[in-house]
A and B are shown apart, each in its own frame.
Chain A
Amino acid sequence: MGINPTAGQIFKALLEGFWVNLEVFAVTLALAIPLGFIISFGSMSKFRPLRCWDKSDSQILRIISKFAPIKLVTRTFVWIIRGTPLMLQLFVVYYGPGLLFQTPFRSPMTAVLIAFVINYAAYFSEIFRGGIEGISKGQYEACQVLGMTKSQTFFKVVLMQVVKRTIPPMSNEIITLVKDTSLARVVSGVTEILHGAYNYTRMGLIWPLFSTGLFFLAFNGILTLLFGYIEKKLDYYKG
């Protein structure tokens, strides 16, 4: 950037910065949704290797028989990820490998993406779990008596209903994600929009910082319209 950048140059720099935010946004969304589904299946897992002690006379064995390792691991994971700040997770992912194993990240962006995907997958997984568990037992039984397999049941009957139910909470999370992408600046070398705008304040310019808000507002405005449209599209049926 020059000594006295023109407004046009500043605007261009902000736009380039926002492109980084959009990259973080798009990659996180694309990877966190499938990962979130996988985690939600984990936290609903009924796998109990010690089920055979279910009807044991010993109360201790009966308690041990309830041990569900997959569910325990995924729910602990979700608890940790949702229970700690995203900024802390960014620091841990970025500095952790270098400080602990002497293998620092080559690309700061990769570290940012890993932290974001993990964080958002944890939140999404809880939304999906709520959506899947909200589908009535009768839907599954109807599929079963029609001879449908488990995967047919999920993909042909359950998934569509889960999508409809989870659009409102998901749009909430996704809009938060847009704004959270500005946290990427804590990893040095990731010049997202706020990072750039902040530098102008040192030159005594405040308007670039304020105008970053316009970028977020505009993009979230588009997303709000998009989700409204999707909700309306799915409104052709109830239940």
Chain B
Amino acid sequence: MGVPMPKPSRAPLAEARALGTPIPEVRVSGPPGLGSRPRPKRIIAVGGGKGGIGKSMVSANLGVALAQAGMNVLLVDADLGGANLHTCLGVGQPEATLSDFLRKNKARLEDVIVPTGVPRLSLIAGAQDALDAANLKYAQKQKLLKTLMGATADYLILDLGAGTSFNTIDFFIMADHGLLVVLPEPTSVENAYRFAKAAFFRRLQQMEAEYGIQDVVDSALTTREGSLRTLHDVLGQVRRKDPVAAERLERELAEFRIRLIVNQARTDADLSVGAAVAAAWKKFFGIDMDDLGAIRYDDEAWRAVRKRRPVLIERPDSPAATAIQRIASRLLALDGSDTSPNP
């Protein structure tokens, strides 16, 4: 996955200059052994399957929270068909967007990075002009993925679009933290499960060549009756053929961990939906999911969106803002405890 970038992007530097603040030392992150090859220290993807559940709101505010915690954060609006992350941040119509980067052959990522007005937080806005941007071609997607992997930042946050198309899923599974936003309502939970399943199967598919299990994975993806339905089945099948490969496969699948965020929790019971979903997921699929916490339904958050400002800046002491801060610190703690760089 780690493909060296032609040039390290200097986003935080550029932004710092733009803001007139003292220039922070740009940290070259990554494993010490790899020298100066730049890459984001951590990639966070925010998905959820269903639309309108607050993915962009969570992404924007999480970015703010992490930036406030001293991290250099690059937000990327990967919702190719319906970008509005810039709106959540109050950036206005950006003059450079992801589609500029995708369209131009020689474009560099740093050319499309725009400051957000929040220190250490910069943005790559989603495609606005190209109406066919949602239908990313394979080569474009590869280019984007590689480029993003090479971006320099402590955190790269990908705000994904709704749906479970491969364009979305591929961004999701490339991340270190796949955040799954759900609302405590059946429609959202339903989509979240579908999203999670799709992510795992996509991940399997990517690994399939390596393990020689193409046929098995394909049959798992086609949900005809009698075909493999769950990861257990897939693993069982692989195990029959090659126990060693199955073990590695299992380990790798377990490594990819989805973290849940329950948004718009209105009741106390809603607060525990994340834990319940994680438990049920584990029970049926044997894969761990983390519950990062719930964000209370908060009028302040809604008002902040109306004002086109992140609630974390607008009302830092509102319940929603504190919840997001808690989630951000949990993520930081996770990364802090996990010292091994995750290539």
A complexed with B = no
